[in-house]
Structure 1
Amino acid sequence: LYLKNTVVLIPSGPLDQGLAYCPLFLLGFLVNAAAVRGLFAQRASWTDTHIYILNLAAADSALILFLPFRIYNAFFCLPPNFFCTFLVNIHFINMYASIFTSAAISVHRYLTVQFPLQARSWRRKKEAALAVCLTIWVFVVTICIIFIEENYPQKLWRCYERCKDERLKLQFVVTLVLAGFLAPLLIIVFCSSWLIFILLKQNTKSEERKSTISMVTANMIVFIVCYTPIHVSFSEQTIVPQSIFLHLSEWIASTNCCFDSISYYFLLKKFYL
């Protein structure tokens, strides 16, 4: 894309995708490694919140660790085979595990503030957090298995790229958009907005309250910015062949892995969770 003799790189063609994902992999690897290291440094005092954030870090780290295959494919072109099907599914399994875990953290954060006494008196919080995280992975993997034919080799032109005449099934897109994006989005917007409202009603003007409101707002905005484009693109693919917008939106969605580690780990250290 050229604007007044200035070149702006977007992940459109294969080489552009490789160049765009390289810094994302490096940054994502560093911030996720730092977050995981910080979490395990606190393992003696883990709470249910640590379990949720570890699950989020696991999903984001797994997505980041498989990005080198996408970078390699951009430069050297992996043949479309069942290994490619595996790579595509791993990418989206981890992306949606991250989405659902973010929603679970929002619910947990809302309940902790809205019902502080009940939250503190409940003794099986860790077990509940583990059950929620396990349910997330089972649900995401099950959806992947149900629709695995959508990414079979015969439907791929290149690894990570569908044939031009292969549209996504409407049922698959509806599942991704409604269950995989809109439902978590509504949960996050409701919980975050209500939490901000509760905090604004408090008479105290502490730096901790301001920091919490800023962080919750930032988490919500980042979620919307990162995941809206890719689901718009999925919807578009039921009508027209995939376009440059899909490649750009996939890259934008992947950047969430960096924001998650920075924002939620910061939240864990700065705020009561």
Structure 2
Amino acid sequence: MENCTENDVRQNDTAQTIWLFQLTVYIPVLILGIPLNVIAFWVFCCKLKRWTETRVYLINLMVADSFLLFALPFLIYFTSYNHPIDNLCFTIQNIYFANMPMSILIITLIAIDRYIAIKFPLKSNILQSPLKSASICGFLWIVLIIYSYLRQKFHKAKENFCFRKESTEPNYLTLFSIIFGFIIPLGIVIFCSVQVIKCLKKKMATSPHETKLIQKAIHIVSVNLCVFVVCFSPFYITLLLRFAVDIAGACSLLSEVRASVWICACLANSNCCLDAVCYYFAAKEFQEFPSLFTTFISMRSKTKQSQESQPPTEQVMI
């Protein structure tokens, strides 16, 4: 394996460039993200009267995004200096590495929730409930907090500085988080979103109002899918590249891949601000989607009653 040592001047120049890029991205994210999340918290906890599964998920998503926003100033400071892994660093790393996966998993749950509500509206009342959603979120919080703690213990034993991986020893926990924390959720989100869009396009609207609701629902699902893919895919791809570089011992690529990870992390972390922008559309969805689901259920019930009243030959033709 090559001797993975970098020229100090080159390393300092790269670190300075990354720091400036972080400031360029994170300052607007903090300026916009903090008030938007405060407003979202007020709307979802105080203004909305009806508890739904989506409301539970979005409150948890808002909490995860808020914790991520809290960690960003520390992230900027720790990555600008060779800060040792002390208690403060350990705490911030736990917050950071628990809340980004939590955001991804909650977005995945929202996609599944929509898929069940649109694809199986007659069974959605049995399969879904706010209590079940809260239980799932609670379980995920516990699992991710434990995982983050174990990850930081491993990092503390192998590394010297906060939020930095200086060694070239492959971290298999990173591979685990890529597969179960992004690749599988990405597949689920894409599948559910595509199926929901297909199902919505097949619905026969009986009025201009219903047509407008269907078009708005398709738009919301499409935008959420694009934001998810654009924000998180580059970061996890570069993490996978870093793992491959460590496995292959390709030290000539180490500096470039390391810089790419930090740059793509800025895009992934900005999702906590973009989520807040989507809260408005989600709030509208609370008011409008129930009537849409009711229409779908009514349509399916009428179809079922019509089939049962027809002779067997006509049922087969349908």
What does residue 262 of structure 1 align with? 277
Whether the aligned pair in 2 keeps the contact of 1:93 and 1:141 (CA below 8 Å) is yes
- 3-state SS of the aligned residue for 2:268? helix
For 1:241-265, what per-residue CA distance to the aligned partner results, in whole angstroms no more than 9, with x for missing partners? 3521011111010111112122244
- Tell me how far apart the structure 2 counterparts of residues 11 and 102 of structure 1 sit (CA, whole Å): 34
Identity of aligned residues (%): 27
- Contact 1:11–1:251 under 8 Å retained in 2: no
Given the alignment, which residue of 148, 151, 161 partners 2:152?
148
CA distance in 2, matches of 1:62, 1:259: 15
Q: 1:12 Cα deviation (Å)?
A: 4.2
Max Rg structure? 2
Residue in 2 aligned with 1:53? 58
Structure 2 Cα separation of the partners of residues 11 and 139 of structure 1: 36
**1:250–1:43 CA distance, 2 compared to 1 (3 A):** same
With the length of structure 1 as denominator, give the TM-score of the two structures. Answer: 0.86
Asked if the contact 2:111/2:192 (under 8 Å) is kept, the reply is: yes
8 Å CA contact 1:64, 1:257 repeated in 2: yes
1:135 corresponds, among 129, 139, 147, to: 139
Please report how far the alpha carbon of residue 58 of structure 1 lies from its aligned counterpart in structure 2 after TM superposition. Answer: 0.6
Shift in CA distance, 160/145, structure 1 to aligned 2, threshold 3 Å: closer
CA RMSD in angstroms comes to 2.4
For residues 226-241 of structure 1, the aligned pairs below 5 Å read 226-238=231-243, 239-240=245-246, 241=254
Q: How far apart in 1 are the matches of 2:87 and 2:268?
A: 24
In the TM superposition, what is the alpha-carbon distance from 1:218 to its structure 2 partner? 1.0
Name the residue aligned to 1:202. 203
* Residue of structure 2 in register with 1:251 after alignment: 266
Q: Which amino acid letter does the alignment assign opposite residue 51 of structure 2?
A: W
Give the letter for the 2:163 counterpart.
Y
- Are residues 199 and 42 of structure 1, via their aligned partners in 2, closer, same or farther at CA, if it must alter by over 3 Å? same
Q: Which runs of 5+ in 1 are unaligned?
A: 1-9
When normalised by structure 2's length, the TM-score is: 0.74
* Count of residues in correspondence between the two structures: 260
In the alignment, the residues of structure 2 paired with residue 146 and residue 71 of structure 1 have an alpha-carbon distance, to the nearest angstrom, of: 23
**Distance (Å, rounded) in 2 between the aligned partners of 1:86 and 1:154:** 17
Query: In the alignment, is residue 272 of structure 1 matched against residue 300 of structure 2?
Result: no
Q: Which amino acid aligns with 2:137?
A: C
**Higher relative helix content:** 2
How much does 1:153 deviate?
7.2
How far residue 74 of structure 1 moved from its aligned partner, in angstroms, is 5.4
Deviations 1:1-28 (A, max 9, x none): xxxxxxxxx9942243234311111111
1:94 to 93, 99, 111: 99
243-252 or 111-120, which deviates more: 111-120
* C-alpha displacement of 1:168: 4.1
Structure 1 pair 251–156 and aligned structure 2 pair: CA distance change class (3 A): farther
Q: Which residue of 2 aligns with 1:16?
A: 21
